[in-house]
Structure formats: structure tokens, C-alpha cells
Amino acid sequence: MQNKMGVRLSEIISLEAFEGCEVISGSNGLSRPVTKVNVMEVPDIVQWLQPGELLLTTAYSIKDNVFKLNELIPKMHEIGVAGLGIKMKRYIEELPASVITLSDQLGFPIIKIPMDISFGDLITSVLTTVVSNQTNLLIQIDAFNNQLKDIMLRGGDLREICDMIGEVVSAPVAITEELFKDFVISSNQELEGEIEEIVNKMLFKRTDKFRRIYKDQGIETAVDVIDGHPVKRLMIPIFSEEVLYGQVIIWNIDEKVEEKTLFMIQAAVSLIALHSTKKLSIYENENKHKIEFIEELLSPQESQQQRAIEKSNYFDFDRNKAHGVVLVKTVDAPYDVRMTPNNTQIMKQLNSKLVSVVERMQRHYKGALLYGNKSDRVIFLLSFDPYASPEESKNDMISFSKELTNFAKFENIDKKIHIGIGRVYSPLGMLHKSYKESERAIHKLELSNSDQNALHFDDLGIYRILSNESIQPELVQFFMEVLGPIVNYDRDKDAELLNTLKMYYSCGCNLKKVSEEMYTHYNTVIYRMQRIKEIGNIDFSNPDVSLNVHIAIKIMDVIKLDLIKK
């Protein structure tokens, strides 16, 4: 803050009170900001110094050892002291050459103050100038904030805010919206195309890491080539309550934008964030109505379906087309919640990124689409020609899911979502089946250890039958009848028999391959298989028995063993 609220040292020494003062070294540091003034009376002044201080001294405390300045100056420089004013000819005649050289090297100004100038006059002059400067800046900030408020109160949009900032800085400006992956630009027509290309690359640059907690990093800088010339890009984060809403981006052509102006914009970003939260509030309100419509439409109850159909025109939903469900569900939330001090913020971050992915997908997708976002999931309704072949519609839904995954990769949340794809149905009364199928596909993904994050119901294989909720009690009973003794033995002895049996079928009943895959000695695998036969009373030579065991192994992927009582 001191850089913006302070007055440059070069301006301070040009004040009338400093007439006759001379910069004897460190002149390349005259741009240092001055925010206060202090007097050095003791040689161990360092522990009381603060950034932005202009230090005045008669050098009495170091008159017997002027070389002490060789120790003090680097420490003052590191703290951020603006400079050192020394009243010469009182206690010291001149400074050692080593002090002058060190001051020049560090760019730490040393000012020679004549004997007849009062420290009191200097202090009064400095403080009056600093306070006046800070007052003027606060007035400018207030005026800038009032302009923003006026725009927002009369319903102005982000473009109007961007144009207003552009007028203040007299430079190209862009404002991005992180959540909706959108932006506006204020620039002359000659540069607008180049600016737009730069912002697009910034906005859709892949996120390297998912941040559990976002912290305001202050103004960031980069260099772009615009109209064939390098131009510094200044990025001011629109940040509020650990959420990054976007950025105010300024291209500092000809280096005309002052630090005070940047500080003024920084101080106002919370108001710009209000615009984004307002837009988010509208989005959430619309989403609430959409999700209610979608849930009624996907209900197996005919009365709710009918209520949804009556509202279909409002949502521009074509009930004469065929439709299919793609369900996106966030995963690993419990881990993130455990690892994050502020649990609500991590969920907000993850949900915000998911919204960004969904919004981008909506703009990209060429077909008819309706979606609703609810807590940990997003429900997509895709519309198709009712006369198209089932295979064609299925391929379109799979392609949609792949694109969705690609967009999720840019936000680095592709590993934090599962995508379940249902079949396409017509008429609407059958659409609830597609939703159930997408849920069952996600359930299979949740229980598997695969890196796969998207699955179509048709690709479930035997799990299309095993994942049916209505037969879950029968499945558990069948599983325990076939493999119950082995499950209980594993719980008591931690013998790895069940995992060995599962690997046995995964490896095509090849014991040598089981040994390799489990990194277990071949004789150990043989011993485990023998124990399985004895404990489970299993005769693998009997095809019916082997089939039952294999089906029971498959059932493991749709039931939770830890919930089954011994």
C-alpha cells in the first residue's frame, strides 16, 4: 500500500522546506515512496524503523564511528526506508567513500541537510505533503467508487464498467468473469482484435493445479506483444471471500498508468465483485427453476411429468424430440473437506469450477441442450431427432461427454467428476429411465478403481442387471451364500483370499499371471486358491459353481462389503 499512499522522495526534496538540501549519493533511488518521517537519535535505530520512513539525523549517535553506516544502510534498504537525511558539518564533516559507494550501489538516497534548516520544519512539510496526498487519493477513490455505484444502481453492465475504467487509465482494459468464462474489452478498434486474442488465451488456459484455498496475490504482471511492441499487462484480481471472480486487465501502453490509479482500482474491485455475485444470483435463481422442471420431467410419476410438460415452452424444451440424460457428479469431496480448514469454501470453489465448465460446454455444444445444477451434480438433457438411429444418438452423447471431460481438464477437475450416460428415449414418459441409467453408470464408476471418468449405460455389461436397485437384497444374499465364508475368513485373518479370487478371474484363471499382477510368490497364490476351495467349498471344475463364483465376484462391484454384517 505504501507505494500508492506515499509521495516520491524526489517530490519531497523539491519542497520549499528542503531548499538548499543536496542528494550526495543513491540518486537512482529517488522514486522511493515516503509515507512518514522519523529522527535517528541512537545507533540501534533499526528495530524501530518502518517501510516508507524518511530518516533525519545529526549523526551524533555515530559521530565516533561513521563507518557504522556501512552496517545500517543495507538494513534500512531491506526494511524499505525511503532515505537518510544527514545534517553535515555539525558532528561529522563528510561521509567515507565506502558509505557513498554502498549508497549508490543500493540506490539508497543520502541527503545532505544544511546546518540552518530546522528538522521541525522538514517534518511538518513532509507530513503535510503526505497527508495531503493521501487525502487526495482517498477523494479520488471515493469518486471512482461513486461512479461504479451509479453504473450498478442504474443497471449498467460489465462493459460500461470496463469503459469507465478505460477512460480513467487511458489504456486498453478488459474485465474477465472467471465463473462464466466471459469477458468485455474497452479498446480502440485497431487493437481490439489483438486484445481479444490475448484474453481468450488467458481465460481458457489450462489450470495447472486445483487450489483448495485461493489467496489474493495482488497485481500480477506479464508482457504481451501488441501492434509489434512489447506492452506490460497488469492484472488486478477481482477477489472476495476466497473466491476469484475474475480480473481487471490493463495494458500499460507507454507506461502512463500510475501506481495511484492502480491502487484506486484495487480498492474498488469489491464493488466489481458485486456485479459478478449479482449475475451469479440470477444464474442460481434461473437454475433453481430449471432443476425443478428437470426433476419433474425425470420423475417416474405421470402427474409430475405432466406438470413439467406444461412448463416446457418456458424453458424452450422441445417435447416432440427424443432425449437422453448425461449426469455429472463431483467426487472426492470428502477428501477435500477433510483437507481444507474452511470446508464451505472448498465446496464453493469446486462447484464454481464445475459451473465454469458447464457454461463453456453450453456455448460450445451445437445441439439442443438443457441443464440444471444441483449440489454435487449437473443434469444435462440432450435433444435428438426422434427418427435418428439409437447408435447415432448414443455416439453423440458419448462425444458430448468427451468434450465435457476436455473442458474439465482445463479447470483441473477432470479427476473430480464422474459422468454417467443414459440411453435416448421417446416419448417423454420414458425419460426417467435414462436418468436412472446414468445414475447406475456413475455408481459403477464410483465402485471401480479405474481412471475412467465417463461410462454409458450400454457399456455396463452384466452390471446393467446387477446395478438394478430392485434386486439389491437378492444380490447381497446370493453373494453371501457363495462367498460369505471367504469374506468372514478374510475379516478374521486378513488373508487376501477375496482379492486373490477376484484377480484369478481378471487374469482368465491363469495362476502365473495372478502371481505377477499381485506381486506375490506363485506358491503363495496356489496356497490361497487351495484355501478358497476348502473354506468356500468351491469346486472350480464344475462350470455351474465356477459361474456362480464369477457372478458373485461381479456383485462385489455393486455392493459395499463393509456394510454387510458378518
pLDDT 10s digits, 276-286: 888 888 888 88
CA distance 476 to 534: 22
Do 454 and 329 lie in one domain? The reply is yes
CA atoms in the 13 A half-sphere facing the CB of 564: 22
Binning pLDDT at 50, 70 and 90, where does residue 172 land?
A: very high
What distance in Å separates the CA atoms of residue 186 and residue 181, rounded to the nearest whole number?
17
Question: At residue 417, does pLDDT exceed 50?
Answer: yes
**Residue labelled with grid coordinates 524503523:** 49
Report the pLDDT value the prediction gives residue 213, as an integer from 0 to 100. 43
- The answer to whether residue 232 scores a pLDDT higher than 90 is yes
Name the band, by pLDDT with cuts 50, 70 and 90, for residue 561: low
- The answer as to whether 285 is a domain residue is no
- Nearest-angstrom CA–CA distance, 545 and 553: 12
Q: Does 307 lie in the same domain as 255?
A: no
Residue 210 has pLDDT above 60, yes or no: no
Instruction: Kindly give the pairing relationship between strand 53-57 and strand 36-40.
Output: parallel
Residue 331: per-residue pLDDT: 80
pLDDT of res. 338: 43
Of 23-32, 131-140, 445-454, where does the model show the most confidence? 23-32
Q: Which of 130, 146, 176 is the last residue of a domain?
A: 130
Task: Please give the pLDDT value at position 341.
Answer: 45
- Say if residue 137's pLDDT is above 70: yes
pLDDT at 15: 93
- For residues 106 and 163, state if they share a domain: no
Q: Say yes or no to pLDDT of 159 above 50.
A: yes
CA distance 385 to 383: 7
H or E, element range at 490: helix 472-493
**Same domain? 275 vs 313:** no
pLDDT of 347 strictly over 70 = no
Residue 83 scores a pLDDT above 90 = yes
What would the pLDDT profile of 508-524 be if each residue is shown by its tens digit? 899 999 899 889 999 99
In this prediction, residue 2 has a pLDDT band, given cuts at 50, 70 and 90, of very low
Distances (CA, A) of 300 to 309, 337, 374, 434: 13, 34, 19, 11
Nearest to residue 204, comparing CAs of 183, 185, 189, 220? Answer: 183
Residue 150 has pLDDT above 70, yes or no: yes
Domain end, chosen from 227, 254, 280, is at 280
pLDDT score for 560: 67
Pairing of strands 182-186, 173-177: antiparallel
Domain assignment of residue 149, yes or no: no
Q: What is the CATH number of the domain that holds 358?
A: 3.30.70.270
Per-residue pLDDT at 209 exceeds 70: no
For the chain, the domain total comes to: 4
Q: Is 176 in the same domain as 253?
A: yes
> Residues 346, 337: contact at Cβ < 8 Å?
yes
Cβ-contact 125, 18 below 8 angstroms: yes
Q: What is the pLDDT of residue 212?
A: 43
For residues 86-93, average pLDDT: 86
> Is residue 487 included in any domain, yes or no?
yes
Cα separation, 284 vs 302, whole angstroms: 27
Q: Residue 515 corresponds to which cell in the numbers above?
A: 502371481
Distance, in Å, from the CA atom of 512 to the CA atom of 504, rounded to the nearest integer, reads 10
Q: What is the mean pLDDT of residues 375-381?
A: 88
The maximal CA–CA distance of the chain, rounded, in angstroms, is 113
pLDDT, average across residues 237-258: 84
The enclosing domain of 221 has a CATH number of: 3.30.450.40
Q: Mean pLDDT, the chain, as a whole number?
A: 86
Q: For residue 367, is it within any domain? A: yes
pLDDT for the residue numbered 74: 93
**DSSP codes, 510-529:** -HHHHHHHTT--HHHHHHHH
Residues 455 and 313 in one domain: yes
Lookup: cell for 266? 484495487
> Hey, what amino acid is at 497?
L
Do residues 447 and 342 make contact, with C-beta atoms less than 8 angstroms apart? no
Q: What is the pLDDT of residues 389-415, one digit of tens each?
A: 989 999 999 999 999 998 888 888 888
Provide mean pLDDT across the span 212-229. 76
3-state secondary structure of 114: coil
Q: Is residue 379 part of a domain?
A: yes
pLDDT tens per residue, range 472-513: 888 888 988 898 899 888 888 888 898 899 899 889 899 999
**Percent with pLDDT over 70 in the chain:** 91
Is 151 contained in some domain? no
Looking at the fold, whether 451 and 339 belong to one and the same domain comes out as: yes
Per the CB < 8 A criterion, the answer to whether 508 and 517 are in contact is no
The CATH number covering residue 70 comes to 3.40.1390.20
473 and 450 within one domain: no
* Domain edge (last residue) among 280, 306, 339: 280
| Cβ neighbours of residue 459 closer than 8 Å, sequence gap 6 or more | 441
Residues pairing with 25 in the sheet: 110
Q: Which of 365, 348, 356 is nearest to 400 (CA)?
A: 365
405 and 274 together in one domain: no
Could you list the residue range(s) of the whole structural domain that residue 474 is in?
Answer: 469-563
- What pLDDT was estimated at residue 56? 93
| Same domain membership, residue 210 and residue 93 | no
Name the percent of the chain lying above pLDDT 90.
41
Answer yes or no: is 307 within a domain: yes
Asked if the model's pLDDT at residue 258 lies above 70, the reply is yes
Q: Are residues 375 and 270 in the same domain?
A: no
Query: Is residue 53 pLDDT above 50, yes or no?
Result: yes
Q: What is the pLDDT of residues 312-346, one digit of tens each?
A: 999 989 989 999 999 999 886 544 444 444 445 55
- Greatest mean pLDDT among 43-52, 190-199, 217-226, 442-451 lies in 190-199
Is pLDDT of 85 > 90?
yes
- In a shared domain, residues 72 and 163: no
| Predicted pLDDT of residue 470 | 78
Give domain status of residue 205, yes or no: yes
